[in-house]
Amino acid sequence: MSVSIRLKRFGSKQRPYYRIVVMDSREATKGKPLEELGYYHPIEKENQVSVNAERAEYWLSQGAKPSDTVKGIFLKNGIHNPIKK
């Protein structure tokens, strides 16, 4: 199974917020995630990002591929891929 870490959009028009989720890459964007790792609120001034770092590193070590946006969020929060291939 090919697993990816990506953002799942919620909210209303012009008030988006996202959950950082682990999903099968073949699953629909609105499908059920394997696990939720945190959230990202781009409009908020404070508390924009919350990530469970331990679980994120676990999924990265299992071979999950983060999207470009999620990779940037992880780097800003000090989460790096523990296994470099």
Say which CATH number the domain at 53 has.
Answer: 3.30.1320.10
In a domain, 83, yes or no: no
Q: Residue 84: which pLDDT band, with cuts at 50, 70 and 90?
A: low
Q: Using CA atoms, how far apart are residues 53 and 85, in angstroms rounded to an integer? A: 20
- 70 by Cβ neighbours in 10 Å (0-12 / 13-18 / 19+) ranks as buried
Q: Residue 25: which pLDDT band, with cuts at 50, 70 and 90?
A: confident
Looking at the structure of the chain, the number of domains it has is: 1
Q: Minimum mean pLDDT among 21-25, 26-30, 37-41, 76-80: which range?
A: 26-30
In a domain, 24, yes or no: yes
- What domain range includes position 29? 3-76
pTM, rounded to two decimals:
0.86
In a domain, 81, yes or no: no
